[in-house]
Amino acid sequence: MDINEAIVNRHSVRQYKDEPIAPEQIAALEALIRECNEESGLRIQLIQDDPDCFKSFLASYGKFKNVRNYIALVGPKSMEDLDEKCGYYGQKIVLEAQMMGLNTCWVGGTYAKGKCSAERTAEERLVCVISIGYGQTQGTERKTKPMSKLCDLPESEMPEWFKEGVKAAMLAPTAINQQSFRISLEDGEPVITAGRGVMIKIDLGIVKYNFEAASGHKCR
Ligand SMILES: Cc1cc2nc3c(=O)[nH]c(=O)nc-3n(C[C@H](O)[C@H](O)[C@H](O)COP(=O)(O)O)c2cc1C
C-alpha cells in the first residue's frame, strides 16, 4: 500500500481485535515517532497496554472497544501552532500505520484524559490521542462536502497536482467530520485556512498533511 492508497483506505476504526501490536511494527512506529519529535519539537508518545484511558463513559459512548494502545500528542504549551503541529505529525503517523496494516482513530474528546499515562510536565499539554491497533473492521466511507464548498477554484481550472491535493484533503479526518477549511491557490502556492469549529487547528494540520502527501507541494 502506498501513501495515496493509505489516504483512500483510511477510515476511523473504534473497535479493535484483542491482539498486541507485532514487535517489529512497534519498533517501526517508535522510530517514526522519534523522527517526528526531532523535527517538530513535540513529545509524541506511543502508549502500550493502557486500556483505562478508553474505559470512561465517554469512550463507550463513542463506541470504542478493546483500545489498549494509543498515540499521545503532547507538546510545549508555549509552542506556536501546537495544535496544528500535532495534527500534521499525527496524520503522518496515522498514514504510516495504515500502510503497515494498522487502524487508527483520532480522539480529542471521548477518552479519559485524566487517566492517560503519557508523560507531560506542567509546561506541556496533552492535545489529543490517536487509538491504534488491528481493527475488527477497516471502517467505512463517510460523506464529504463537495469540492466546490472547500475550494474557490473551479475544478476545470485546477492544475492536476492541486486537484490531487484537494481530493486528499477531502478524505482527511476532521473532528465530528466538520470539514471546516478552505483551500486556495495564491501565486501558484496552495494555501489552506481553518474556518470555525472545534479542534479546528488540529484539523488544519491533518488536512495540510494529506494535501502535501498527495500533491507533493508544500502548503501555507
Ligand atoms: C481532531 C479530531 C478529534 C476527534 N475526536 C473524536 C472523538 O473524541 N471521538 C470519536 O469517536 N471520534 C473522534 N474523531 C474522529 C472523527 O469523528 C472522524 O475522523 C470523522 O467523522 C471522519 O471520519 P473518518 O475518520 O472515517 O474519515 C476525531 C477526529 C479528529 C480529526
Among candidate residues 133, 160, 183, the one where a domain is terminated? 133
39 and 88 in a single domain? The answer is yes
Query: What per-residue confidence (pLDDT) applies to 41?
Result: 98
The atom of ligand 1 lying closest to the CA of 171 is 27
pLDDT digits (tens, 9 = 90+) for 52-100: 999 877 777 779 999 999 999 999 999 999 999 999 999 999 999 999 9
pTM of the predicted model as reported, rounded to 2 decimal places: 0.98
Q: Using a 6 Å CB cutoff, which residues line ligand 1?
A: 11-12, 14, 62, 105-110, 128, 139, 142, 173-177, 199, 202-203, 206
Is pLDDT at 158 greater than 90 in this prediction? yes
Could you tell me if 185 and 102 lie in one domain?
no
pLDDT in tens, 159-176: 999 999 999 999 999 999
On the question of pLDDT at 36 being above 80, the answer is: yes
Count up the domains in the chain and report the number: 2
Q: Does the CA dihedral 77-81-87-93 come out positive or negative? A: negative
Same domain, 115 and 62: yes
Range of the domain at 94: 3-133
pLDDT of residue 184: 97
List phi, psi (to 5°) of 76.
-65, 135
Query: How many angstroms separate the alpha carbon of residue 106 from the centre of ligand 1?
Result: 5
Residues 32 and 106 in one domain: yes
Q: Which atom of ligand 1 is nearest to the CA of 202?
A: 1
